[in-house]
Amino acid sequence: MIRILDAGPQTTVQDGGRLGQLRYGIPPSGPVDRFAFVLANRLVGNPDGAAALECTLVGPRFEVEAACAVAVTGADMPLSVNGKDAPRWATLALKVGDVVKLGHARSGVRGYIAFAGGLDVPLVMGSRATYLRGRLGGVEGRALRKDDRLRLAPAAAPRPRRVERRALPDYGGEPTLRVVLGPQADRFTKEGLGALLGSSYEVLPQSDRMGARLRGPRIAHTRGHDIISDGIAVGSIQVPGDGQPIVLLVDRQSTGGYTKVATVCSFDIARIGQARPGQAVRFRAVTVDEAHRLLREWDASLEGVMREESA
Protein backbone atom coordinates (compact mmCIF):
# COMPACT_ATOMS: atom_id res chain seq x y z
CA MET A 1 0.00 0.00 0.00
CA ILE A 2 1.14 3.55 -0.68
CA ARG A 3 -0.53 6.75 0.49
CA ILE A 4 -0.47 9.93 -1.59
CA LEU A 5 0.58 12.95 0.48
CA ASP A 6 0.66 15.36 -2.45
CA ALA A 7 -0.49 14.24 -5.88
CA GLY A 8 1.16 16.86 -8.12
CA PRO A 9 -0.76 18.53 -10.96
CA GLN A 10 -1.66 15.37 -12.88
CA THR A 11 -0.62 11.93 -11.70
CA THR A 12 -2.49 8.97 -13.17
CA VAL A 13 -2.34 5.18 -13.13
CA GLN A 14 -1.31 3.82 -16.55
CA ASP A 15 -0.60 0.34 -17.87
CA GLY A 16 0.21 -1.13 -21.27
CA GLY A 17 -3.02 0.39 -22.59
CA ARG A 18 -6.62 -0.47 -23.40
CA LEU A 19 -6.05 -2.11 -26.76
CA GLY A 20 -8.62 -3.26 -29.28
CA GLN A 21 -11.34 -0.76 -28.21
CA LEU A 22 -10.71 2.03 -30.71
CA ARG A 23 -13.64 0.79 -32.82
CA TYR A 24 -15.89 1.54 -29.82
CA GLY A 25 -14.49 5.07 -29.57
CA ILE A 26 -12.15 4.26 -26.69
CA PRO A 27 -8.50 5.29 -27.05
CA PRO A 28 -5.69 3.07 -25.74
CA SER A 29 -4.42 5.52 -23.10
CA GLY A 30 -1.30 4.07 -21.42
CA PRO A 31 2.02 5.92 -21.05
CA VAL A 32 2.93 8.72 -23.46
CA ASP A 33 6.60 7.75 -23.08
CA ARG A 34 6.63 3.98 -23.51
CA PHE A 35 10.44 3.75 -23.34
CA ALA A 36 10.69 5.26 -19.83
CA PHE A 37 7.57 3.38 -18.69
CA VAL A 38 8.82 -0.04 -19.81
CA LEU A 39 12.25 0.45 -18.22
CA ALA A 40 10.69 1.54 -14.92
CA ASN A 41 8.68 -1.68 -14.86
CA ARG A 42 11.68 -3.84 -15.79
CA LEU A 43 13.78 -2.26 -13.02
CA VAL A 44 11.32 -3.62 -10.44
CA GLY A 45 10.93 -6.99 -12.14
CA ASN A 46 7.44 -6.32 -13.57
CA PRO A 47 6.06 -7.27 -16.98
CA ASP A 48 6.37 -4.33 -19.42
CA GLY A 49 2.66 -3.45 -19.22
CA ALA A 50 2.21 -3.52 -15.42
CA ALA A 51 0.25 -0.60 -13.91
CA ALA A 52 2.47 2.26 -12.75
CA LEU A 53 2.16 6.02 -12.21
CA GLU A 54 2.63 8.71 -14.83
CA CYS A 55 3.14 12.21 -13.41
CA THR A 56 3.24 15.50 -15.26
CA LEU A 57 5.78 18.36 -14.81
CA VAL A 58 5.76 17.96 -11.01
CA GLY A 59 5.84 14.58 -9.33
CA PRO A 60 3.91 13.35 -6.30
CA ARG A 61 4.97 12.87 -2.67
CA PHE A 62 3.88 9.59 -1.16
CA GLU A 63 4.40 7.41 1.89
CA VAL A 64 5.16 3.71 1.73
CA GLU A 65 2.91 1.65 4.04
CA ALA A 66 4.53 -1.73 3.30
CA ALA A 67 8.08 -2.50 2.21
CA CYS A 68 8.39 -2.49 -1.59
CA ALA A 69 10.72 -1.78 -4.48
CA VAL A 70 10.19 1.21 -6.79
CA ALA A 71 11.90 2.72 -9.81
CA VAL A 72 11.55 6.27 -11.14
CA THR A 73 12.27 7.10 -14.79
CA GLY A 74 11.25 9.66 -17.42
CA ALA A 75 11.37 13.45 -16.97
CA ASP A 76 14.25 14.77 -14.91
CA MET A 77 12.41 15.28 -11.61
CA PRO A 78 14.68 15.50 -8.55
CA LEU A 79 14.01 12.41 -6.44
CA SER A 80 14.38 12.08 -2.69
CA VAL A 81 13.60 9.43 -0.09
CA ASN A 82 13.09 10.83 3.43
CA GLY A 83 14.63 14.11 2.23
CA LYS A 84 17.82 12.50 0.91
CA ASP A 85 18.67 12.43 -2.81
CA ALA A 86 18.04 9.07 -4.45
CA PRO A 87 19.00 7.79 -7.91
CA ARG A 88 16.53 7.72 -10.79
CA TRP A 89 16.55 4.97 -13.45
CA ALA A 90 17.47 2.48 -10.69
CA THR A 91 15.78 -0.02 -8.37
CA LEU A 92 15.15 1.40 -4.89
CA ALA A 93 14.23 -0.79 -1.90
CA LEU A 94 11.84 1.08 0.41
CA LYS A 95 10.73 0.28 3.94
CA VAL A 96 7.59 1.08 5.88
CA GLY A 97 7.26 4.81 6.57
CA ASP A 98 9.62 5.98 3.82
CA VAL A 99 8.47 9.19 2.14
CA VAL A 100 9.29 9.55 -1.55
CA LYS A 101 9.18 12.90 -3.31
CA LEU A 102 9.58 13.86 -6.95
CA GLY A 103 10.11 17.58 -7.58
CA HIS A 104 9.69 19.91 -10.58
CA ALA A 105 10.95 18.46 -13.86
CA ARG A 106 14.16 20.17 -15.03
CA SER A 107 13.75 18.64 -18.47
CA GLY A 108 11.01 16.48 -19.95
CA VAL A 109 7.36 16.50 -18.91
CA ARG A 110 6.32 12.99 -17.85
CA GLY A 111 7.85 10.96 -15.06
CA TYR A 112 7.12 7.29 -14.30
CA ILE A 113 7.05 5.47 -10.98
CA ALA A 114 6.82 1.69 -11.11
CA PHE A 115 6.26 -0.50 -8.03
CA ALA A 116 7.27 -4.16 -7.78
CA GLY A 117 4.09 -6.15 -8.38
CA GLY A 118 2.33 -3.26 -10.09
CA LEU A 119 -0.57 -1.09 -8.88
CA ASP A 120 -3.67 -3.09 -8.10
CA VAL A 121 -6.61 -1.02 -9.36
CA PRO A 122 -9.71 -2.55 -11.01
CA LEU A 123 -9.60 -3.58 -14.66
CA VAL A 124 -11.96 -1.53 -16.82
CA MET A 125 -12.53 -2.96 -20.30
CA GLY A 126 -9.40 -5.07 -19.95
CA SER A 127 -7.01 -2.36 -18.69
CA ARG A 128 -6.03 -0.36 -15.62
CA ALA A 129 -5.01 2.70 -17.65
CA THR A 130 -6.70 6.01 -16.79
CA TYR A 131 -8.59 7.74 -19.61
CA LEU A 132 -9.22 11.14 -18.02
CA ARG A 133 -11.58 12.62 -20.61
CA GLY A 134 -13.72 9.47 -20.58
CA ARG A 135 -13.45 9.28 -16.77
CA LEU A 136 -12.61 5.59 -16.84
CA GLY A 137 -9.85 3.31 -15.55
CA GLY A 138 -7.19 3.99 -12.91
CA VAL A 139 -8.62 5.40 -9.68
CA GLU A 140 -12.26 6.28 -10.44
CA GLY A 141 -11.24 7.53 -13.87
CA ARG A 142 -9.45 10.55 -12.40
CA ALA A 143 -6.02 11.89 -11.53
CA LEU A 144 -4.75 11.01 -8.04
CA ARG A 145 -5.54 13.19 -5.04
CA LYS A 146 -4.10 13.69 -1.59
CA ASP A 147 -4.91 10.75 0.70
CA ASP A 148 -5.59 8.29 -2.11
CA ARG A 149 -4.27 4.88 -1.09
CA LEU A 150 -3.08 2.46 -3.74
CA ARG A 151 -2.65 -1.27 -3.23
CA LEU A 152 0.30 -3.14 -4.76
CA ALA A 153 0.01 -6.65 -6.14
CA PRO A 154 2.28 -9.06 -4.23
CA ALA A 155 5.77 -9.52 -5.67
CA ALA A 156 9.16 -10.92 -4.78
CA ALA A 157 11.89 -8.37 -4.13
CA PRO A 158 13.64 -7.70 -7.47
CA ARG A 159 17.40 -7.75 -7.76
CA PRO A 160 18.58 -4.16 -7.82
CA ARG A 161 19.61 -2.82 -11.20
CA ARG A 162 20.10 0.50 -12.95
CA VAL A 163 19.86 1.75 -16.52
CA GLU A 164 23.26 2.52 -18.03
CA ARG A 165 24.04 6.18 -18.46
CA ARG A 166 24.55 5.80 -22.24
CA ALA A 167 20.95 4.64 -22.62
CA LEU A 168 19.35 7.59 -20.80
CA PRO A 169 17.24 9.77 -23.11
CA ASP A 170 17.93 13.49 -23.48
CA TYR A 171 14.65 15.41 -23.36
CA GLY A 172 16.18 18.85 -23.97
CA GLY A 173 17.13 20.75 -27.12
CA GLU A 174 15.10 20.80 -30.28
CA PRO A 175 14.15 17.20 -31.08
CA THR A 176 13.58 16.16 -34.69
CA LEU A 177 10.58 13.87 -34.96
CA ARG A 178 10.48 11.34 -37.76
CA VAL A 179 7.17 11.33 -39.67
CA VAL A 180 5.64 9.33 -42.50
CA LEU A 181 3.67 11.70 -44.76
CA GLY A 182 -0.04 10.90 -45.10
CA PRO A 183 -2.83 9.97 -44.85
CA GLN A 184 -3.91 13.32 -46.35
CA ALA A 185 -0.59 14.94 -47.31
CA ASP A 186 -2.08 15.39 -50.80
CA ARG A 187 -4.57 17.91 -49.35
CA PHE A 188 -1.77 20.40 -48.53
CA THR A 189 0.12 22.87 -50.70
CA LYS A 190 3.79 22.39 -51.55
CA GLU A 191 4.53 25.44 -49.38
CA GLY A 192 2.48 23.95 -46.55
CA LEU A 193 4.48 20.72 -46.62
CA GLY A 194 7.65 22.77 -46.92
CA ALA A 195 6.68 24.65 -43.74
CA LEU A 196 6.03 21.42 -41.83
CA LEU A 197 9.37 19.88 -42.83
CA GLY A 198 11.50 23.00 -42.87
CA SER A 199 10.52 24.97 -39.75
CA SER A 200 10.46 24.56 -36.01
CA TYR A 201 7.18 24.39 -34.09
CA GLU A 202 6.71 25.47 -30.49
CA VAL A 203 4.87 23.23 -28.02
CA LEU A 204 1.91 25.10 -26.46
CA PRO A 205 0.85 24.84 -22.81
CA GLN A 206 -2.63 23.57 -23.84
CA SER A 207 -1.01 20.24 -24.76
CA ASP A 208 -2.16 17.15 -22.88
CA ARG A 209 -2.39 13.37 -23.21
CA MET A 210 -4.92 13.82 -26.02
CA GLY A 211 -2.65 15.88 -28.19
CA ALA A 212 0.41 18.12 -28.36
CA ARG A 213 -0.68 21.50 -29.72
CA LEU A 214 2.01 23.29 -31.70
CA ARG A 215 2.51 26.80 -33.11
CA GLY A 216 4.60 27.76 -36.10
CA PRO A 217 4.47 28.58 -39.80
CA ARG A 218 1.06 27.84 -41.30
CA ILE A 219 0.63 24.44 -42.97
CA ALA A 220 -1.69 25.50 -45.79
CA HIS A 221 -4.41 23.30 -47.28
CA THR A 222 -5.18 23.05 -50.98
CA ARG A 223 -8.96 22.73 -50.73
CA GLY A 224 -10.41 23.00 -47.25
CA HIS A 225 -9.61 21.23 -44.03
CA ASP A 226 -12.76 19.13 -43.64
CA ILE A 227 -12.96 15.48 -44.60
CA ILE A 228 -15.54 12.79 -43.90
CA SER A 229 -14.44 11.52 -40.47
CA ASP A 230 -11.97 8.66 -40.44
CA GLY A 231 -10.00 6.75 -37.81
CA ILE A 232 -7.01 8.48 -36.19
CA ALA A 233 -3.65 6.74 -35.68
CA VAL A 234 -1.51 7.66 -32.66
CA GLY A 235 0.91 10.36 -33.82
CA SER A 236 -1.42 11.76 -36.50
CA ILE A 237 -0.62 15.41 -37.19
CA GLN A 238 -4.04 16.97 -37.56
CA VAL A 239 -4.21 20.39 -39.17
CA PRO A 240 -7.47 22.34 -38.72
CA GLY A 241 -8.35 25.49 -40.65
CA ASP A 242 -5.83 27.70 -38.85
CA GLY A 243 -2.92 25.66 -40.29
CA GLN A 244 -1.48 24.94 -36.82
CA PRO A 245 -0.63 21.28 -36.17
CA ILE A 246 -1.83 19.06 -33.33
CA VAL A 247 0.02 15.76 -32.78
CA LEU A 248 -2.60 13.35 -31.47
CA LEU A 249 -1.45 11.14 -28.62
CA VAL A 250 -2.61 8.19 -26.52
CA ASP A 251 -5.89 9.71 -25.24
CA ARG A 252 -6.93 11.00 -28.69
CA GLN A 253 -10.47 10.82 -30.08
CA SER A 254 -10.87 7.67 -32.21
CA THR A 255 -12.18 9.43 -35.32
CA GLY A 256 -12.06 12.97 -36.64
CA GLY A 257 -13.01 15.12 -39.59
CA TYR A 258 -9.87 17.23 -40.05
CA THR A 259 -7.11 16.55 -42.57
CA LYS A 260 -3.97 14.86 -41.24
CA VAL A 261 -0.76 15.82 -43.02
CA ALA A 262 1.59 13.18 -41.59
CA THR A 263 2.02 10.71 -38.74
CA VAL A 264 4.78 10.88 -36.12
CA CYS A 265 6.46 7.46 -35.97
CA SER A 266 5.57 5.35 -32.94
CA PHE A 267 9.16 5.42 -31.63
CA ASP A 268 9.13 9.25 -31.55
CA ILE A 269 5.83 9.64 -29.65
CA ALA A 270 7.82 9.65 -26.39
CA ARG A 271 9.97 12.54 -27.65
CA ILE A 272 7.02 14.79 -28.53
CA GLY A 273 5.39 13.75 -25.24
CA GLN A 274 8.46 14.84 -23.29
CA ALA A 275 8.81 18.22 -25.07
CA ARG A 276 7.89 21.02 -22.66
CA PRO A 277 5.63 23.99 -23.38
CA GLY A 278 7.86 26.56 -25.07
CA GLN A 279 10.27 23.94 -26.37
CA ALA A 280 10.59 23.66 -30.17
CA VAL A 281 10.39 20.51 -32.28
CA ARG A 282 11.12 19.78 -35.95
CA PHE A 283 9.78 17.19 -38.34
CA ARG A 284 11.66 15.03 -40.83
CA ALA A 285 9.91 12.85 -43.41
CA VAL A 286 11.06 9.24 -43.69
CA THR A 287 9.78 6.49 -45.96
CA VAL A 288 7.74 3.74 -44.34
CA ASP A 289 10.60 1.28 -44.96
CA GLU A 290 13.01 3.56 -43.13
CA ALA A 291 10.46 3.94 -40.33
CA HIS A 292 10.29 0.16 -39.92
CA ARG A 293 14.09 -0.08 -39.76
CA LEU A 294 14.12 2.63 -37.06
CA LEU A 295 11.30 0.85 -35.22
CA ARG A 296 13.38 -2.33 -35.13
CA GLU A 297 16.32 -0.32 -33.73
CA TRP A 298 14.05 1.25 -31.11
CA ASP A 299 12.79 -2.17 -30.02
CA ALA A 300 16.39 -3.34 -29.68
CA SER A 301 17.33 -0.19 -27.72
CA LEU A 302 15.24 -1.46 -24.79
CA GLU A 303 17.40 -4.55 -24.48
CA GLY A 304 20.72 -4.91 -22.69
CA VAL A 305 20.64 -1.45 -21.08
CA MET A 306 20.31 -2.54 -17.44
CA ARG A 307 23.21 -3.51 -15.21
CA GLU A 308 23.20 -5.25 -11.81
CA GLU A 309 24.01 -2.83 -9.00
CA SER A 310 27.35 -3.71 -7.47
CA ALA A 311 27.17 -4.27 -3.71
Ranges within 212-251 binding other proteins (CB under 8 A): 227-236
Chosen residue from 242, 292, 308, 309 binding other proteins by CB under 8 A: 292
60, 175, 183, 192: residue in contact with other proteins (rule CB under 8 A)? 183
Does residue 265 interact with other proteins by CB under 8 A? yes
Collect all residues with Cβ–Cβ distance below 8 Å to 24 and sequence separation of at least 6: 254
Number of H helices, E strands in the chain: 4, 22
**Residue nearer to other proteins on the CB measure, 52 or 193:** 193
Residue 114 and residue 76 in contact, taking contact as beta carbons nearer than 8 Å: no
Amino acid symbol at 197: L
Using DSSP's 3-state secondary structure scheme, residue 175 falls into coil
Give which of 155, 160, 161 is closest to 68, Cα–Cα.
155
Q: Which among 205, 272, 263, 213 is positioned nearest to 243, based on CA atoms?
A: 213
List the Cα angle 108/250/36 in 5-degree steps: 40
Among 3, 6, 22, 218, binds other proteins (CB under 8 A): 22
Provide the mask over 102-131, with x wherever binding to other proteins is found by CB under 8 A and - wherever it is not: ----------------------xx------
Q: What is the DSSP letter of 134?
A: T
- Choose, by CB under 8 A, the member of 9, 154, 198, 241 that binds other proteins: 198
Given 1, 9, 20, 174, the residue binding other proteins (CB under 8 A):
20
Site residues, other proteins (CB under 8 A) = 19-20, 22-26, 124-125, 134-136, 141, 179-186, 193, 197-198, 227-236, 253-256, 260, 263-267, 284-285, 287-288, 291-292, 294-296, 299
